[in-house]
């Protein structure tokens, strides 16, 4: 395994999809891997793969004609390239077999880079907001007849409730991609437009420090022709100040902060998309939020069907990214109103027993704060109950106080055991849901937090706590969605 190239090594540089005749994905059942597999397959590449379990994703791949095998290293056939992701563990049998056969080893980011290089790339990165922002860009371009391609973190819905898949091979010039920064592999990309929603700091298990994290984003900007970034975000303002003077002109900023209060040397007001007259509406309204976006001499009213200030900022990023592709702000603003949201991003599941039930992918304190703030603004009289599954032991270790503070916006929180993903509990012995509850005590919020040993216990206690008119939400990037069917069933029995 010592010969495994690092995630940011460009293994397929100079090659195109037409050069890949047969490709094998190890871990093809992962969402990101399955999206890339579908894109290559749609381009005529022979694609197969393996996974440790049969899931709905692998079943869908098989229905589309892609062969999925057990992950034992014995089913690669004539494949010349093995695609891996940072989730693949040392000793993976597919990798060991690929080494013996002399196959080309390509990280999943190599495939995304290859596909983006054939188009005008729009790469969306940031600590959070990537999926919604990249989906909004895709939705805007699609509704304006630009026929884009995309690789996204989730499906999204447009006017009439039509769901668009998380992947698409269009005939237009644009390719929109969610650029995951977690392992540094996003530095391979050379997009026409990059977007940085924020740079709060995350993935310290890879970067080691906030300084290294931000330096990676600095290189990301330098690899792009144009950059769209939030100037409300303190990390992004630091990034801007780190740029050389001649590089600052490529930046289009956006935010709800008055330009004169930014205090950024070298930043021009004509390059600042200012959000003003921001309004939020109750859930009974046809629109959830609205604002005016002004950039230089262009100004447009933006009406969104997704709630929250964070989504006003996401929409601004999307509109300015489309501006970087030559689309006028008024046209993009109109198209943004057709976007109905992404799967698992403040997704409404139903209203059994008079309780509104949502699920959300939030797994960083800032994301949780944005989620709960949006629910409070949409349902101001309601109590909010949350079932939260922390994602990764390192994140609990680094952000326990942040989790306690952001979750305290809810009226009741049930904490599930940590979902470890690629990490082991023994490497982070102090990382536990108890640590989050303990961090809430100095805030005077400790009584809101209770521990649940599993999904069933968490679901039953959340439902038992609730009453008619409440809002309930399951939160986390792991397997917390396993609790959703039981919550809906139990609430239905209360009718």
In the numeric block, which tokens belong to residue 122? 């729009």
Q: What is the pLDDT of residues 161-190, one digit of tens each?
A: 889 999 999 999 999 999 988 777 889 999
Residue 367 three-state SS:
helix
Q: pLDDT category, 382, cuts 50, 70, 90? A: very high
Residue of 84, 151, 141, 139 lying closest to 112 (CA atoms) = 151
How many helices (H) and strands (E) the chain has is answered by: 15, 24
Residue of 217, 1, 209, 215 lying closest to 105 (CA atoms) = 1
What is the model's pLDDT at position 118?
A: 92
Report d(CA 259, CA 81) in Å as an integer. 50
The angle, 0 to 180 degrees and rounded to 10, between the axes of the packed helices 309-324 and 130-143 is 50
Q: pLDDT category, 222, cuts 50, 70, 90? A: very high
**Residue 356 half-sphere exposure toward CB, CA atoms < 13 A:** 16
Q: Mean pLDDT throughout 481-485?
A: 93
**Is the Cβ–Cβ distance between 478 and 87 less than 8 Å?**
no
Sheet holding 162-164, edge to edge: 162-164, 156-158, 341-342
Q: Mean pLDDT throughout 222-236?
A: 96
What is the model's pLDDT at position 128?
A: 81
Q: How far is CA 134 from CA 53, 255, 256, 291, in A?
A: 29, 18, 20, 20
Per mean pLDDT, which range of 28-37, 205-214, 393-402, 430-439 is the poorest?
A: 205-214
DSSP state of 194: E
**Is the Cβ–Cβ distance between 481 and 366 less than 8 Å?**
no
Q: Mean pLDDT throughout 73-96?
A: 90
Q: What is the pLDDT of residues 265-307, one digit of tens each?
A: 999 999 999 999 999 988 778 899 999 999 999 999 999 999 8
Extents of the domains making up the chain: 17-107, 119-342, 347-493
- Second-level CATH architecture of 119-342: 3-Layer(aba) Sandwich (3.40)
What is the model's pLDDT at position 3?
A: 66
Q: How far is CA 194 from CA 126, 335, 344, 396, in A?
A: 10, 21, 24, 29
For residue 349, how many other CB atoms are within 10 A of its CB? 18
Q: pLDDT category, 1, cuts 50, 70, 90? A: very low
What is the model's pLDDT at position 454?
A: 96
Give residue 283's Cα distance to chain centre. Answer: 24
Q: What is the pLDDT of residues 91-132, one digit of tens each?
A: 899 999 999 999 999 999 999 999 999 999 999 999 888 999
Give 449's strand partners. Answer: 413
Q: pLDDT category, 461, cuts 50, 70, 90? A: very high
In the numeric block, which tokens belong to residue 479? 């397997």
Report d(CA 57, CA 155) in Å as an integer. 13
Using the predicted structure, report yes or no on whether residue 324 has a pLDDT greater than 80: yes
Residue of 295, 294, 293 lying closest to 303 (CA atoms) = 293
**Mean per-residue pLDDT over the chain, rounded:** 92
Using the predicted structure, report yes or no on whether residue 82 has a pLDDT greater than 80: yes
Using the predicted structure, report yes or no on whether residue 345 has a pLDDT greater than 60: yes
Using the predicted structure, report yes or no on whether residue 237 has a pLDDT greater than 90: yes
Report d(CA 385, CA 466) in Å as an integer. 7
What is the model's pLDDT at position 234?
A: 92
Give 495 or 308, the one with higher predicted confidence. 308
DSSP state of 116: H
Sheet holding 104-107, edge to edge: 67-70, 46-51, 22-26, 81-84, 104-107
What is the model's pLDDT at position 201?
A: 55
Give me the CATH topology for the region 347-493: 3.90.190
What is the model's pLDDT at position 395?
A: 85
Per mean pLDDT, which range of 154-168, 247-261, 322-336 is the poorest?
A: 154-168
- Second-level CATH architecture of 17-107: 3-Layer(aba) Sandwich (3.40)
* Residue that is written with structure tokens 């792991």 in the block: 478
Q: pLDDT category, 6, cuts 50, 70, 90? A: confident
In the numeric block, which tokens belong to residue 82? 């093995």
Extended beta strands in 98-234, E state: 104-107, 120-125, 149-151, 156-158, 162-164, 167-168, 174-178, 193-196, 226-230
Q: Where are the alpha helices (DSSP H) in 64-203?
A: 93-101, 108-117, 130-143
Per mean pLDDT, which range of 206-210, 406-410, 422-426 is the poorest?
A: 206-210
Give 347's strand partners. Answer: 359
Using the predicted structure, report yes or no on whether residue 384 has a pLDDT greater than 60: yes
């Amino acid at each position: 395994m010592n010969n495994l190239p690092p995630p940011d090594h460009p293994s397929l540089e100079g090659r195109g999809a037409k050069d890949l005749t047969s490709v094998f994905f190890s871990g093809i059942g992962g969402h990101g891997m399955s999206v890339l597999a579908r894109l290559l397959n749609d381009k005529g590449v022979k694609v197969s793969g393996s996974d440790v379990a049969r899931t709905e994703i692998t079943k869908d791949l098989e229905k589309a004609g892609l062969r999925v095998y057990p992950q034992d290293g014995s089913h690669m056939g004539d494949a010349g390239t093995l695609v891996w992701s940072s989730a693949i563990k040392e000793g993976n049998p597919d990798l060991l077999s690929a080494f013996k056969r002399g196959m080309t080893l390509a990280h999943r980011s190599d495939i995304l880079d290859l596909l983006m290089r054939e188009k005008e790339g729009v790469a969306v990165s940031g600590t959070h907001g990537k999926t919604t922002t990249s989906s909004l860009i895709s939705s805007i371009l699609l509704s304006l007849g630009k026929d884009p391609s995309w690789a996204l973190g989730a499906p999204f819905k447009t006017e009439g409730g039509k769901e668009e898949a998380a992947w698409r091979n269009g005939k237009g010039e644009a390719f929109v991609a969610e650029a995951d920064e977690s392992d540094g592999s996003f530095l391979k990309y050379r997009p026409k437009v990059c977007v940085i929603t924020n740079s709060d700091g995350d993935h310290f298990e890879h970067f080691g420090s906030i300084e290294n994290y931000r330096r990676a984003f600095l290189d990301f900007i330098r690899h792009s022709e144009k950059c769209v970034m939030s100037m409300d975000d303190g990390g992004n303002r630091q990034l801007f100040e780190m740029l050389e003077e001649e590089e600052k002109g490529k930046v289009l900023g956006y935010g709800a902060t008055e330009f004169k209060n930014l205090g950024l040397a070298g930043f021009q007001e004509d390059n600042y998309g200012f959000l003003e007259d921001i309004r939020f509406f109750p859930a009974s309204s046809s629109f959830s939020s609205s604002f005016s976006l002004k950039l230089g001499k262009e100004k447009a009213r933006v009406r969104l069907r997704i709630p929250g200030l964070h989504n006003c900022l996401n929409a601004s990023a999307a509109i300015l990214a489309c501006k970087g592709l030559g689309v006028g702000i008024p046209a993009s603003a109109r198209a943004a109103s057709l976007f109905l949201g992404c799967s698992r991003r403040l997704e409404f599941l139903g209203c059994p027993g008079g309780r509104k039930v949502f699920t959300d992918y939030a797994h960083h304190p800032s994301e949780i704060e944005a989620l709960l703030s949006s629910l409070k603004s949409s349902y101001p009289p309601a109590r909010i109950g949350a079932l939260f599954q922390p994602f990764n032991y390192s994140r609990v270790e680094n952000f326990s106080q942040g989790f306690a503070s952001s979750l305290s916006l809810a009226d009741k929180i049930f904490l599930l055991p940590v979902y470890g993903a690629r990490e082991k509990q023994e490497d982070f012995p102090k990382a536990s849901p108890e640590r989050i509850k303990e961090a809430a005590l100095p805030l005077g919020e400790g009584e809101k937090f209770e521990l649940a040993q599993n999904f069933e216990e968490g679901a039953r206690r959340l439902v038992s706590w609730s009453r008619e008119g409440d809002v309930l939400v399951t939160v986390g990037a792991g397997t917390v969605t396993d609790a959703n069917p039981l919550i809906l069933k139990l609430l239905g029995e209360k009718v």
